[in-house]
Each structure stands twice: as structure tokens, then as C-alpha cells.
């Protein structure tokens, strides 16, 4: 019974996070990108903060190290990632599926950054090949035209690549600090801080609430991102992280593009290109090479779960 529960929650999380790329694309028709991202985390941050007060014994960070973790999360995991992602998705040439595939590079980049900031963890030759395959996958997906690099979505896809890199770097840096802070508290305060940072960036680049067009579509997109993809999504993530561990939960990044493609096709009439599919496969092979030992170590447990 537990196995089916975990599988159902895993699919639910992949669907929520995958379809979020479609909701971002839809909402950007009505709301400036950075302001859109900030509003999303105004709502999600307050909800997660309320949950942290309900679910943990330490809903407020207390030490310098704990606030440092929150600062990294707010700057890189929330503000850096979402600012670049939302701006990148404003390009009509970037489909929901393409954005999701590029973001699926995050686990590969996380491994690469871990090797840089944790010198005792060296990449093997196979690991280096896996990392390079991930980068090659993004290059294939971007399909840049050397004669016209500023069109065709290449720059936007590089911005989304930067978003994935910001998330990966933030993930590594937060784990380096031994702050003993409940993950719900860290996420909640990171969301609130990240929202404030994005509001500052939004004002700095000239966005305004006067540019927002409030329609049924824009409100629905904002509500879906804040309530389903963020608040509900992270609650499911926390539950599965505890039950499945970091290795298996990383696989959500590789299921989410399927739901991003389906949602983009159903709602926005987007059709994934061959480059999107090939780029995704190359990135996934790179992930398998990088995580081959950890995956191999997990196989006996997975076999026992299947048989039970």
C-alpha cells in the first residue's frame, strides 16, 4: 500500500512541477515576468511560513548559520532561479517542454558544483563524461544558429540554463552549512526573502503593477503556481524526500518534462521539437552516468519494494 502511495505522490509532484512551466508561459501573457515570479512567492511564502509554524518546533531561524542558509536559498534557489526562468520563458520560441528539459539539468549541475565545493569528492572519467553529456544536451536543445545567435530562442534558453545553474549552486551551498534548520522553515523563509528580492529587481527593471492585466487566465495561472506547484508541490516533496531519499526524488526532474509537454500541447498548442526530445535523452544519460553508483546501490532496495 505504501508503495502505491509513494508512486501516486511521485506522479502528482511531477505533474504539478511539470505543468507549472505551462502555467508560467500562460501567465506571462498578462503579467511582467519578474513581478509574476515575485507575486507567486508572496502567496506561496506566506502559506509555507504558516505551515512551518504548524509543523516544526523551530519556525524561525535563530543562528547566524541558519540565516545564512536562508539567505542562500532566497538569493539562488528562489530569486535567481525564478527571475531567469520567468524571463527566459517570455521568448515565444521556448516551449514549456523545452524549459522543463533545460531545468532537468539541475541534478547534473548539482553534482558538478558539489565536486568543486567539496574537493574530497572527485569526478571520475565516467562522471566527467556524464557532466559533459548534460551540457551537450542543452546545446542540442538550444540548437543555436551561428549566423544569428540572438534569435530562435537561444538566448532565452541560456537564461533558463542560468536558472538551472543558480538552483544547483544554491542546493550545494545550502548543504555545506551545518545549520540544523528544519527544511520547511528554510524553504518558507527563503520563499519570503526571495519574493522581496524579486520585487526589488522588478522595480529596478521598470516593471509596474500598472502593466498587469487581471483576467481569469492570469489569476488562474498565478493561483496554480502559488497553490499547486509551490505550496502543495513542496509539501509533497518534503514527504517524498523523507520516504524515498534524494536520489529517487531527483528523478522527478526527468518525469516533469513529460507533463510539461502534455500541458503545453493541451493548453497552449505547443508541439515539442526533435531537438527537445534528443536534448532530454542526452541530459538523462548524463545523469545516469553521474549517479551510476548511487543508483546501483539503490537497486536492491527497489527490487525489494517491487516484490513486497
| Span 183-209, average pLDDT | 95
Cα 33 to Cα 163: distance, rounded to the nearest angstrom: 14
Give the pLDDT score at 94. Answer: 87
Give the pLDDT score at 107. Answer: 77
Helix (H, G, I), strand (E, B) or coil at 153: coil
Q: Which of 66, 19, 10 is nearest to 230 (CA)?
A: 19
Separation in Å, CA 299 to CA 20, 118, 293, 305: 31, 26, 10, 10
Evaluate if residue 152 carries a pLDDT over 60: no
Evaluate if residue 257 carries a pLDDT over 70: yes
Residue 40: all three cell numbers together = 507567486
Give the pLDDT score at 150. Answer: 45
| Span 237-262, average pLDDT | 75
Q: pTM of the predicted model, to two decimals?
A: 0.83
Q: What are the structural domain ranges in the chain?
A: 2-307
Give the pLDDT score at 177. Answer: 80
Q: Which of 69, 52, 25 is nearest to 177 (CA)?
A: 69
Please answer whether residues 30 and 217 qualify as being in contact, where contact means their C-beta atoms are separated by less than 8 angstroms. yes
Residues 52-72 pLDDT 10s: 999 999 999 999 999 999 999
| Span 167-193, average pLDDT | 87
Residue 111: all three cell numbers together = 553534482
Q: Which of 11, 18, 169, 166 is nearest to 87 (CA)?
A: 166
- Does residue 74 or residue 104 have the better pLDDT? 74
Evaluate if residue 298 carries a pLDDT over 60: yes
Give the pLDDT score at 290. Answer: 65
Evaluate if residue 135 carries a pLDDT over 70: no
Cα 197 to Cα 82: distance, rounded to the nearest angstrom: 11
| Span 164-192, average pLDDT | 88
User: Which residues, other chains included, contact 74 with Cβ-Cβ below 8 Å and sequence gap of 6+?
Assistant: 189, 190, 191, 192, 193, 194, 196, 197
Residues 206-219 pLDDT 10s: 999 999 999 999 99
Evaluate if residue 279 carries a pLDDT over 90: no
| Span 281-290, average pLDDT | 75
State the chain's mean pLDDT as an integer: 83
Amino acid at each position: 500500500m505504501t508503495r502505491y502511495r509513494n508512486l501516486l505522490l511521485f506522479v502528482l509532484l511531477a505533474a504539478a512541477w511539470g505543468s507549472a512551466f505551462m502555467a508560467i508561459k500562460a501567465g506571462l501573457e498578462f503579467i511582467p515576468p519578474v513581478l509574476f515570479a515575485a507575486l507567486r512567492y508572496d502567496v506561496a511564502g506566506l502559506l509555507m511560513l504558516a505551515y512551518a509554524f504548524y509543523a516544526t518546533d523551530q519556525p524561525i531561524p535563530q543562528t547566524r548559520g541558519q540565516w545564512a542558509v536562508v539567505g542562500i536559498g532566497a538569493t539562488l534557489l528562489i530569486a535567481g532561479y525564478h527571475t531567469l526562468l520567468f524571463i527566459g520563458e517570455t521568448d515565444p520560441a521556448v516551449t514549456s517542454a523545452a524549459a522543463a528539459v533545460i531545468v532537468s539539468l539541475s541534478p547534473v549541475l548539482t553534482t558538478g558544483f558539489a565536486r568543486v565545493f567539496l574537493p574530497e569528492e572527485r569526478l571520475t572519467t565516467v562522471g566527467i563524461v556524464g557532466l559533459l553529456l548534460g551540457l551537450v544536451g542543452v546545446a542540442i536543445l538550444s540548437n543555436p544558429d551561428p549566423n544569428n545567435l540572438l534569435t530562435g530562442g537561444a538566448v532565452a534558453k541560456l537564461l533558463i540554463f542560468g536558472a538551472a545553474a543558480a538552483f544547483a549552486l544554491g542546493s550545494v551551498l545550502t548543504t555545506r552549512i551545518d545549520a540544523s534548520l528544519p527544511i520547511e522553515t528554510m524553504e518558507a523563509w527563503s520563499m519570503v526573502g526571495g519574493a522581496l528580492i524579486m520585487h526589488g529587481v522588478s522595480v529596478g527593471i521598470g516593471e509596474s503593477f500598472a502593466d498587469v492585466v487581471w483576467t481569469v487566465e492570469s489569476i488562474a495561472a498565478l493561483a496554480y503556481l502559488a497553490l499547486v506547484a509551490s505550496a502543495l508541490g513542496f509539501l509533497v516533496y518534503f514527504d517524498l524526500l523523507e520516504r524515498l531519499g534524494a536520489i529517487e526524488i531527483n528523478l522527478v526532474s526527468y518525469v516533469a518534462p513529460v507533463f510539461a509537454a502534455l500541458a503545453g500541447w493541451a493548453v497552449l498548442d505547443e508541439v515539442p521539437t526533435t531537438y527537445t526530445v534528443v536534448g532530454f535523452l542526452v541530459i538523462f544519460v548524463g545523469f545516469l552516468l553521474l549517479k551510476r553508483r548511487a543508483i546501483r546501490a539503490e537497486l536492491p532496495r527497489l527490487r525489494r519494494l517491487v516484490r513486497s
